Amino acid sequence: MTHERGAEAYLQIGDAAERTELTQRTLRYYEEKGLLKPPTRMDGGFRLYSAEDIERIGRIKQLKDLLGFSLADIKEMLEAEDVRSQIKAEWDKDADAAEKAERIRAARQMTLKQIALIDQKMRQMAEMRALLAERLAKHDALLLQWTGEPTSPVSEPVGAAS
Amino acid sequence: MTHERGAEAYLQIGDAAERTELTQRTLRYYEEKGLLKPPTRMDGGFRLYSAEDIERIGRIKQLKDLLGFSLADIKEMLEAEDVRSQIKAEWDKDADAAEKAERIRAARQMTLKQIALIDQKMRQMAEMRALLAERLAKHDALLLQWTGEPTSPVSEPVGAAS
DNA sequence: ACGAACGTTAACGCAAACGTCATGGTTTTC
DNA sequence: GAAAACCATGACGTTTGCGTTAACGTTCGT
């Protein structure tokens, strides 16, 4: 069952695990490692994950599976990113502008690095895709030669970054 | 020093490691795990890696770092791929056509799977890149607002697959 | 109000992918 | 021909990222 708390809907760990396609163990592990802030709890101690929490978990999966970062790296990144929400939260009190700017700059750098990495990987993938398409053509040629076979066409490759 | 053996140039393990940006340990490990065929040796037992060997190592790195496969998976893939070179080698003797066709079909399937995975990952990356670009814009907006700063433009995203 | 389903912490286990010696042979260089 | 640089094998160690089990508390459906 999905829970409610004020206006928001919360998931307990089983549903959250299902939603994110991770295990409960993994969620607890991420929390233990500091990648997830301790979620709110029910009176009995059951964890309740907010929509934000779920999003963050998705973000972790992306960084891990898609870009191949270690959990330690991801932790650093998320901490750097949190600067935005943190600053918004304490925006008026303690208006130490210089330090805030510095932290935003750091977050910006993180983002730039991630974008650069994505671009690099996408280029390499495009390259690799081209090679695989060639190889596929060779296989198809052989199959046609030996067994007069119908071979499905290769879908178009994707454009690469400059 | 680079070695020669007939017409080809061979690298011993130190140079090979440097070239591929792996460690000697890793190369021996890959060999031990059956991902690399035992390379030729010098009289004293030193390993000599051919250009083909180096290429194969690069292939392994790609599959690991770019697509995130485990070494076990990679081993299977490489074995399936080897079908082509194997068939070429023994092409006329033992002309068991049916079996050969089947093995080529298997290799073809491997290739198709890899292409599909690449396309999927590229789509996800494009999506993620877009989000990062948005985030970057927000950072830039904040920096401009607080410190009247010059911010470099974001290079264009790459095209996604259909 | 009671059993089924779900959750909690703590602790140990484990496979993958190497790192790091130790010990001893080989090749190159001067 | 001897030191310096390089390599081989073997064995044990390490880190990461969870899996699994145990022992026990909570929530829910009826």
Amino acid A88 CA to nucleotide C9 C1' distance, rounded Å: 35
Look at residue A93 and tell me whether its pLDDT is greater than 70: no
Residue-averaged pLDDT of chain A:
89
Task: Compute the nearest-CA separation of A51 from chain B (Å).
Answer: 18
Q: Among B12, B9, B13, which residue's Cα sits nearest to residue B22?
A: B13
Average pLDDT over residues A72-82: 94
Taking C1' of C28 and every protein CA, the nearest residue is: B1
Q: What is the pLDDT of residue B160?
A: 52
Q: What is the pLDDT of residue B157?
A: 65
Query: Closest partner residue to B143 among A65, A105, A125, by Cβ?
Result: A105
**More confident position, A21 or A156:** A21
Q: What is the pLDDT of residue A162?
A: 47
Task: Compute the nearest-CA separation of B4 from chain A (Å).
Answer: 29
Taking C1' of D7 and every protein CA, the nearest residue is: B46
Strand order in the sheet with B47-49: B3-5, B8-12, B47-49, B40-41
Q: With contact defined as beta carbons under 8 Å apart, do B11 and B19 qualify?
A: yes
Give the span between the Cα atoms of B124 and A59, in whole angstroms: 12
Q: Where are the beta strands (DSSP E) in chain B?
A: 3-5, 8-12, 40-41, 47-49
> Could you check: is the Cβ of residue B96 within 7 Å of any atom of nucleic acid strand C?
no
Look at residue B97 and tell me whether its pLDDT is greater than 50: yes
Q: What is the pLDDT of residue A100?
A: 82
Average pLDDT over residues A30-48: 97
Phi-psi label, residue B69: left if phi above 0, alpha if psi -120 to 50, beta otherwise = beta
The class of domain B1-66 in CATH terms is mainly alpha
Single-letter amino acid code for the residue at A151: T
Average pLDDT over residues A131-135: 96
Closest chain A residue by Cα to residue B134: A111
Nucleotides of C under 7 A from a protein CB: 6-9, 16-20, 25-29
**More confident position, B152 or A69:** A69
pLDDT band of residue B162 (cuts 50, 70, 90) is very low
Q: With contact defined as beta carbons under 8 Å apart, do A118 and B154 qualify?
A: no
pLDDT band of residue B131 (cuts 50, 70, 90) is very high
Query: Closest partner residue to A111 among B101, B135, B155, by Cβ?
Result: B135
Residue-averaged pLDDT of chain B:
89
Would the CB atoms of A162 and B140 count as touching at under 8 Å?
no
Q: What is the pLDDT of residue A101?
A: 86
Average pLDDT over residues A110-118: 95
Query: Closest partner residue to A66 among B84, B125, B162, by Cβ?
Result: B125
What residues contact A77, with CB distance under 8 A and at least 6 apart? A63, A69, A110, A114
Most confident segment among A15-19, A145-149, B5-9: A15-19
**Furthest CA-CA distance within chain A:** 77
Lowest-confidence pick of A123-127, A138-142, B31-35: A138-142
What are the backbone angles phi and psi of residue A74, rounded to the nearest 5°?
Answer: -60, -40
What are the backbone angles phi and psi of residue B9, rounded to the nearest 5°?
Answer: -100, 130
* CATH of the domain spanning A1-69: 1.10.1660.10
Q: Among B76, B160, B70, which residue's Cα sits nearest to residue B118?
A: B160
Residues B21-61 have pLDDT tens digits of 999 999 999 999 999 999 999 999 999 999 999 999 999 99
Average pLDDT over residues B113-141: 96
Would the CB atoms of A146 and B97 count as touching at under 8 Å?
yes
Average pLDDT over residues A89-103: 74
Give the span between the Cα atoms of A132 and B84, in whole angstroms: 14
Look at residue A114 and tell me whether its pLDDT is greater than 70: yes
Amino acid B11 CA to nucleotide C30 C1' distance, rounded Å: 24
Q: What is the pLDDT of residue A88?
A: 72
Average pLDDT over residues A6-15: 89
- Parts of chain A belonging to CATH 1.10.1660.10: 1-69
pLDDT band of residue A83 (cuts 50, 70, 90) is confident
Q: To 5 degrees, how large is the angle CA A147–CA B112–CA A159?
A: 125
